[in-house]
A and B are shown apart, each in its own frame.
Chain A
Amino acid sequence: MAEVHLQTVTKSFGAQAALRDVTMTVPDGSFVVLLGPTGAGKTTLLRMVSGLDAPDSGAVTIGGIAMKGLTPAQRNVAMVFQQYSLYPHLTVRENMEFPLKSPLLRTPRAEIDRKVDEVAEILQISHKLNNKATALSGGEMQRVSIGRALVRNPAVYLMDEPLSSLDAKLRADLRVELKNIQANLGATFLYVTHDQIEAMTMATHVGVLDHGRLVQFGTPREIYEHPVSIYAAGRLGQPHINILPADLFGPAPPGAVKIGLRPEQILQGRGQDSLVKRVEHLGDQTRLHLSFHNHDLVTVTGAHTALKSGDIVKIQPDRPFYFDATGARIP
């Protein structure tokens, strides 16, 4: 296991800048989640570390060793692709053995069998080991794909939305399982996802990417509680943070253009009237869709609330975020 460091990494595809001056350290044994919408440069960043693509400028080091000019094999990284990319001419077992049999590892037969069986057990695919890779469902393929990475003990695991094609139950199971594996192995993970629950539950650190720039890097809690911008604030939080005109509830600090309110930053029962437009009972909580001075906002209330559509509820901001005209947070 090793620390991964990127120093002012820049990469363009034609006129399209995919990464701009990204400097980031993935500490040894950490689980770093990269967040950002499609096109933010998350996958490109993984490919820089893996060696499948080379940066235009800047440097990548793994375990203190400069990676420039090294092939993916020489870097000893494992990667789970967003596409399943199982070798279709091989069985599930052969797919999972493939990295262990490589000239890089040359694992003894008994060790290969032990490793593959162990990982297959964890991923619940033991009964599929002798199937053709093409005879699997999408979710099974993705698990085999994860398994192919987990049989190894690489410097760093790179995962590109590995759970995105799984159903909710399996995703929840594997989330816990991956986190356990990472914690037990002390492995370094660099993990790309859209899913904020994955980010909040698995990450030791979150990196927020915006159009190729790393705009914030910190623990999930830091990013959630101290976002640097509207963009960063919008990456985490369910329901989504409410962004409203800064002076909607009263006087705002100088320079503030927008106010940001997460559900827990909206106090209910005090302040000004708002109209309940819709009530969504989710079981453990209830979402309120409110209308306040002709602006819509969403907040959360107790599971057994008696509120219904058409009611009036008083609301008031509690230690809200303020953002300036560029979207940056005003401290």
Chain B
Amino acid sequence: MSFSITEPSGRQKWIAGVLVVTYAVLTLIPLIWIIATGFKTPQDAIAYPPKVFFEPSLEGYVNLFTSRSRVTPEDLAALPPPDTFYDRIVRQYDMVITGPSKYGERFLNSVIIGFGSTFLSVFLGTIAAYAFSRFKVPLKDDLLFFILSTRMMPPIAVAIPIFLMYRQLGLSDTHLGMILLYTAVNLSLSVWLLKGFIDEIPVEYEEAALIDGYTRFQAFTKVVLPQAATGIASTAIFCLIFAWNEYAFVALLTSGTAQTAPPFIPTIIGTGGKDWPAVAAGATLFLVPIMVFTILLRKHLLRGITFGAVRK
């Protein structure tokens, strides 16, 4: 295979640009649809033909974050006039706000469980990968195969044993239980990915650090970790995406305290008609942390691996 080193012509650039933009638009349409729906009124959301231009409304977000109940027109008239924009929106439908919804809590659970399990997976994965990469581990290849074999079936295949086990151990519907479960599922991925990255870091750097007066652990933290940052960042993104989006286990093993947002969002539909804008609003907000996380770490992903300082 040969690579052209000539600068692409203007025409080639133009074609490449069109292809990239087309692809980006195609992938973005569902996303834009969700975000737009979050700002529609329920009527606009189900309008046919679909409305591309509409008057934005915060109704979806208000419904997402509140619990409401219907009151009679007489009672409504007896109430003092609404003093906030969300009260006004709710009153249009003969309703009053009775309190916050559970979305905030569920969202917080997602954050705790998602980031907690990502941190644990990457932390354990890094030290395991370093050991596999650098030390003589007995039965190394077999162990690595076993670790990978946990990925050879869909995780949900072991849902029933895990359900029973968790009930016995008292881990059902706990944050710790979900963090441990996601860590266990992600660990094989993170060990394998990170071992690849650490294998690429020449051992000479650590030897130089040992000679320069550092212990092996210090050589690991000061020389290996900074160079593995790219690998750690991309592994963290993969782990977080899995834990963040996971639906089946959390639907099975949690019911309240530790429930994350994914199984909660569909339940919004049921509370008072088909409230698509509220569902879309929930999904939109749910996207934000992972997008921010990915964008923050993107610099690391693009920085590239630091080849070139060792003569091969």
Contact = CB atoms under 8 A, between A and B. Distances in A.
Interface of A: 50-52, 71-73, 76-79, 81-89, 98-99, 102-105, 133-134, 138, 141, 148, 165
Find the residue from B202, B207, B213, B310 having the highest chain A CB count within 10 A.
Answer: B213
A81 B227 contact: no
A209 B6 CA distance: 50
A260 B283 CA distance: 87
A99 B209 CA distance: 8
B208 interface: yes
Interface of B: 202, 204-205, 207-216, 218, 223, 226-227, 306, 308-312
Contact of B209 (A76, A98, A134): A98
14 contacts: A73-B214, A77-B211, A81-B204, A81-B207, A82-B311, A83-B312, A84-B309, A85-B309, A87-B205, A88-B205, A88-B306, A104-B213, A105-B213, A134-B309
B214 to A, nearest CB: 5
Contacts of B218: 102-103
Given A85-B207, A86-B309, A134-B306, A102 B202 contact: no
Scoring B202, B207, B223 by chain A CB atoms within 10 A of each residue's CB, the highest score goes to B207
Contact of A87 (B210, B213, B215, B223): B223
B311 A79 contact: no
Contacts of B312: 83
Contacts of A77: 211
Contacts of A141: 309
Given A52-B207, A81-B208, A133-B309, A89 B227 contact: yes
A148 B214 CA distance: 14
Nearest to A78: B211
A83 B311 contact: yes
B208 A134 contact: no
Given A133-B309, A134-B306, A141-B309, A87 B208 contact: yes
A88 B201 CA distance: 10
Contacts of A165: 311
Contacts of B204: 81, 83, 85
A154 B19 CA distance: 60
Given A81-B204, A83-B204, A98-B209, A88 B308 contact: yes
A52 B205 CA distance: 12
Nearest to B311: A83
A115 to B, nearest CB: 14
A83 to B, nearest CB: 5
A98 B311 contact: no
Contact of B212 (A88, A98, A133, A138): A98
Contacts of A86: 309
B202 A83 contact: yes
A102 B212 contact: yes
A99 B213 contact: yes
B212 A148 contact: yes
B308 A52 contact: no
Contact of B213 (A82, A89, A103, A134): A103
Contacts of A81: 204, 207-208
